[in-house]
Amino acid sequence: MVRRAFFLCPHVMAEPDEKQVLDEEAIRRALVRMAHEIVEKNRGARDIVLVGIWTRGAYLAKRLADAIERVEGIRPPVGTLDVTFHRDDLDMRGLKEPGETDIAFPVTDRIVILVDDVLFTGRTVRAALDALMSFGRPRKVQLATLVDRGHRELPIRADYVGKNLPTSSQEDVRVRLREIDGVDGVFIGRGERQ
């Protein structure tokens, strides 16, 4: 019973060097708002497909698809995209174990919504665009991110943002999702996490 209460209280999950900026309800509200914006901007959901950038973007894409289905009555197809081999910073970051790519639907002439958890320098999105083009030629690509923390190094902008979160370059934004971490929350900590 104590363990269950632990997971129901998102503030308990913050580590000593962290400050929580979004809890489970704030994330839910942000995704519902983003779903409405996606449907409105694209005049419905018929031509939309969602592609989540592995790892947390994949789970956020599924949640967005659920929200779009509740709004529009149509569930857009959802895929996942691993960008490991398309990154331009492998020499700095090192090669991590590749994630999952699963796009079992055509992207050609569709509106692809790329979904990620945090937009920072823009390099992950650039890698995702490179990887996505090997699956076809979308009519349009839009970007949805739960958190935009600024500090762009490339000219990339999100079309749909859950929360704009100004940060310093010494801070680290940490998104936790119940599917992976057992709790939903967005936290700011000091220093980069590996």
Does 72 fall in a domain?
yes
Place of tokens 């490179």: 130
In a 13 Å sphere around the CA of 192, the CA atoms on its Cβ side amount to 4
pLDDT of residue 152: 96
Give the pLDDT confidence score for residue 14 in this predicted structure: 74
Question: Does a structural domain hold residue 154?
Answer: yes
Domain assignment present for residue 68? The answer is yes
Q: Could you give the number of structural domains in the chain? A: 1
- Confidence (pLDDT) at 95: 60
**How is residue 85 written in tokens?**
């081999």
Classify residue 4: in a domain, yes or no. no
Instruction: Indicate whether 3 belongs to any domain.
Output: no
Among residues 105, 97, 121, the alpha carbon closest in space to that of 169 is found at 121
Backbone angles phi, psi at 67, to 5 degrees: -65, -40
Please state, in angstroms and rounded to a whole number, the distance separating the CA atoms of residues 23 and 10. Answer: 6
- pLDDT recorded at residue 99: 86
C-alpha span between 62 and 16 (Å, rounded)? 31
Q: Write the CATH number for 58.
A: 3.40.50.2020
**Domain assignment present for 17:** no
Is 7 domain-assigned?
Answer: no
pLDDT at 97: 74
Report pTM. 0.88
Q: Is 11 part of a structural domain of the chain?
A: no
Per-residue pLDDT 10s for the chain (194 aa) are 333 333 334 444 578 789 999 999 999 999 999 999 999 999 999 999 999 999 999 999 999 999 999 999 999 999 999 999 887 765 565 667 778 999 999 999 999 999 999 999 999 999 999 999 999 999 999 999 999 999 999 999 999 999 999 999 899 999 999 999 999 999 999 875 44
Structural domain harbouring 87: 23-190
Q: How high is the pLDDT of residue 1?
A: 31
pLDDT value of position 194: 40
The predicted structure's pLDDT at residue 13: 59
